[in-house]
Homo-oligomer: A and B are copies of this chain.
Amino acid sequence: MVAKDALMTWDSVFSPIKWDAGRLVLLDQRLLPEQEVWRHYEDATDVAEAIRKMVVRGAPAIGCAAALGLAAAALRYPDDVEGFNRALMRDIELLKQSRPTAVNLFWALEHQQLVARQALEELGADAAKQALEQQALKIWRDDVASCRAMGRLGAELIPERACILTHCNAGALATGGYGTALGVVRAAAESGKQIRVYADETRPFLQGARLTAWELHKSGIDVTVSCDNMAGALMQRGEISCCVVGADRIAANGDVANKIGTYMVAALAKRHGVPFYVAAPRSTIDLGTPTGAEIPIEERPSREVTHIGDTALAPEAVGVRNIAFDVTPAELVTAIVTEVGVAQPPSEQSIRALMD
């Protein structure tokens, strides 16, 4: 166990990320809720591996971790411009290969590449190192500020007494801090609304049962875990006021890629007239992807489905699918909440307006 103070960042917001004198430090989310273990990184290969293996996960958190991880690695690059540049391009490529769906990763790395190359050309390697560190810290800080702003805007959509269903973890743990979907939950609770949360357990990685339950409980917000397949029964019984989820990538037309099972929740919400909200920073919106059909969807190793720890849940030798994300068509989304405004309903027009 780590003392509570150690979990705080400069912003006094709980964050799964720390920056420790030129090293990236990540809370190993695979071990939650049973253990709180922090791991140090200074090499891009290790950071890419941490992203792939889901030590850190959640689109905004992956963006922050990649930016900070690249900055940490760059502090160890050669001081000659050519050597620096070669190492930079290699590490950016490495990090880009870690996971395909969340666009924040690519967004953060492209921003880092731009700023580093400009500093490198104009002022040399030392300046590029500083620029990468400064911008990474800014990306992280801005992400938390975005979550706060999303929270304020999103909380206005939440009734005074609400039972909110969320899927996966789009919380402090999935971001620089505070959370996107759970940022909305937090802001609603902080504004005095009576909030209860149903957390879908979110198979196979159990982000809901392990992470959302852990961080909401820690924050004193009433949280109940249920299996993903219970969402329909809960809505049939009228127990859900609204759904709030995060996003890994939002296409130009408002289609939303998010953790597998999100589409199912949205389809059920539509059937039951339950509002379905997506909270995500603008760095999640990818105008270069016209519709959800063009979003690359990761499939992950079968062992995540067939095993919990060392316990086998299925016979060996049977086939397994582990589709990590699905696409919720814009027509099922009541509103998309960003840090600068709300697209309601989401459409090519309303989304473009947020980006301008």
Min CB distance A243 to B, Å, is 14
Min CB distance A170 to B, Å, is 15
Return the contact of A319 from the options B222, B271, B309, B319 (Cβ within 8 A). Answer: B222
Q: Quick check: is A20 within 8 A (CB to CB) of the other chain? A: no
Q: Quick check: is A261 within 8 A (CB to CB) of the other chain? A: yes
Q: Complex Cα distance A42/B33, Å?
A: 43
CB within 8 Å for A230 and B327 given contacts A225-B306, A311-B308: no
| Residues of B close to A261: CB separation below 8 A | 227-230, 232
Q: Quick check: is A267 within 8 A (CB to CB) of the other chain? A: yes
| Residues of B close to A228: CB separation below 8 A | 203, 227-229, 261
| Residues of B close to A263: CB separation below 8 A | 232-233, 236
Is the Cβ of B260 less than 8 Å from the Cβ of A225? no
Is the Cβ of A309 less than 8 Å from the Cβ of B311? yes
Is the Cβ of A320 less than 8 Å from the Cβ of B226? yes
Closest to A200 in B: B229
| Residues of B close to A1: CB separation below 8 A | none
| Residues of B close to A201: CB separation below 8 A | 203, 305, 313-314
Min CB distance A43 to B, Å, is 31
Q: Quick check: is A122 within 8 A (CB to CB) of the other chain? A: no
Q: Complex Cα distance A210/B305, Å?
A: 12
Closest to A312 in B: B34
Is the Cβ of A214 less than 8 Å from the Cβ of B315? yes
- Identify which of A263, A264, A268 gathers the most chain B CB atoms within 10 Å of its CB: A264
CB within 8 Å for A227 and B203 given contacts A233-B260, A314-B33: yes
- Identify which of A312, A317, A321 gathers the most chain B CB atoms within 10 Å of its CB: A321
Smallest CB-CB A-B distances: 4 pairs: A229-B261, A224-B319, A209-B314, A233-B326
- Sample of 6 further A-B pairs with CB below 8 A, known A224-B321, A230-B322: A206-B314, A224-B318, A227-B322, A232-B261, A233-B325, A308-B309
Supply 6 A–B pairs (Cβ within 8 Å), ascending by A. A201-B305, A203-B203, A210-B313, A217-B318, A228-B228, A232-B261
